[in-house]
Amino acid sequence: MTEFAFPRDLVDVIQTRWQTAADQQFELPENRILQRLLETCYHASFRTSEQRKVQCVVAYASAEDISEGTLRLSRPVDLTDSELVRLSPVTQHRQTVIGCEQMDGWLCIWGFFDYGHAWVQHSAGDPPSVPVQLADFPPDCLTITIEGPGALTISQGRTSLVRLRDGRVIFPQEDLFQTLQNPLGRFFRQLIDDLPNSTQCGDPSATEHANVEQRTLLNIYTNSVLAILERIRLRQHGGSVVIARVPLNEQFAHLTYTVSEHGGLAAEVIAYKRLDDLLREPRSKLKADAELERCRLQLELHRSSRRLIRSISQISLLAAADGAVLLDDHLRIQGFGVRFPVLLPQGMTVLDALTGRDCSCDQWGLRHQSVFSACHKCEQAIGFIVSQDGEVKAVKADGGRLMFWDGILD
């Protein structure tokens, strides 16, 4: 019999994973209050306002401990699920936070506060238009993000502690794209190793960037991919994206729509990384007219950020067409509305890489099976599937074994 988890099951987990902040100004409430806060957010997540889902972030912090960007109510209101339903539409997910604290032994909403713009862009996967500084990070207070019905993410500042989704307690995963311990990380690491020296980046000076710090470059590249997937998820229409390092045979990929002369994101990723590096250098290392040069670099970084964001949005929109978006390793659009004929052997299984459980490919629909088929036929490809319910999977074959990773945006 399946055991479902509820907010009360998170209290001990949060206490165990909570890290004492250096200044100790942000602390957890007592267990009774913490459970009440979790339950209120949980019940609010199932409600709607004029058919709008409740999506917002609630922070447990005193208004006096938030240094700037606060908007205080003249009279605090009790924290209830009804108040969260009413206030959710006036907040902006990831940017505007509902602040609450304990007053006279109970929880009250005192107002709102905003995160820094650079952090908002960074947390959405977008390349920030200015370098992210320490002051841009959210305060180390307890935050509860209401993502959807029954779906909560509990964090301490920028550190995710635990999630509740589909009645399951989910712990943060390692960054699957940054480690060589799994096929996803190895795929992207090899791609990034080849990227700066590529003559196909569309950037005549690409060879000058061979010494670009690879890990940060990998981070910008993979964050751009995740930003594409996040935009597809937010539109709630579902979609799929396949990145192939080698051309796919027409027998395996039927391109309904193709585009000409798409420059891709790779050159912009490298250009953005260079500008970000220059702006992080000590000012003494810049030339004599340092301030003028710094202003020029800031303007160029802003332009580079906007170009990347436009391309990210463009690719995510193409996923609304029936079929997949096919990209090469430089994130150039090879086609969209792409159909991958389902050529899976009868009874084939796919390995859930996180649980080690074998699953029948037949238990999913055509979108999943199509991407399974593409990745099964080409181990130099990686697929991403965004379901209408918000679940996001990565798919990769390695050594003849087809695998998937669930919840990669969680």
The residues near 174 (Cβ < 8 Å, ≥ 6 apart) are: 181
Res 203 pLDDT > 80: no
Which pLDDT value is given to residue 212? Answer: 47
Angle at which helix 214-235 crosses helix 183-194, to 10 degrees, equals: 120
Q: DSSP class of residue 88? A: G
Domains of the chain and CATH, by start: 7-170 (3.40.1700), 183-406 (3.40.1700.10)
The enclosing H or E element of 258 equals none
How confident is the model at residue 207, as a pLDDT?
43
In tens, the pLDDT along 346-375 reads: 889 999 988 888 999 999 999 999 999 999
| 203 compared with 34, residue with greater pLDDT | 34
Q: Which residue has the tokens 């000012």?
A: 283
In tens, the pLDDT along 134-160 reads: 666 778 899 999 988 999 999 998 888
pLDDT in tens, 370-409: 999 999 999 999 999 999 888 899 999 999 899 999 888 8
Tell me the residue length of the chain.
410
Residue 264 is predicted with a pLDDT of 83
Residues 75-115: tens digit of each pLDDT: 999 999 999 999 998 887 667 899 999 998 889 999 999 87
203 or 39: which leads in pLDDT: 39
pTM over 0.85: no
Strand ranges inside 320-400, DSSP E: 324-328, 333-338, 349-352, 357-360, 381-386, 392-398
Please give the average per-residue pLDDT across 155-168, as a whole number.
88
Q: How far is CA 263 from CA 218, 285, 327, in A?
A: 19, 33, 11
**What is the model's pLDDT at position 116?**
65
Distance CA 88, CA 41 (A): 11
Do 145 and 382 form a contact (C-beta atoms < 8 A)?
A: no
Residue 53: predicted pLDDT: 84
Band (126; pLDDT cuts 50, 70, 90) = low
CB environment 181-202: b (16+ within 10 A), e (fewer): ebbbbebbbebbeebbebeebb
The pLDDT value given to residue 374: 93
**Cα-Cα-Cα-Cα dihedral sign, residues 201, 205, 207, 211:** negative
Lookup: tokens for 170: 């989910």
Point out the least confidently predicted range of 39-48, 187-196, 201-210, 399-408.
Answer: 201-210
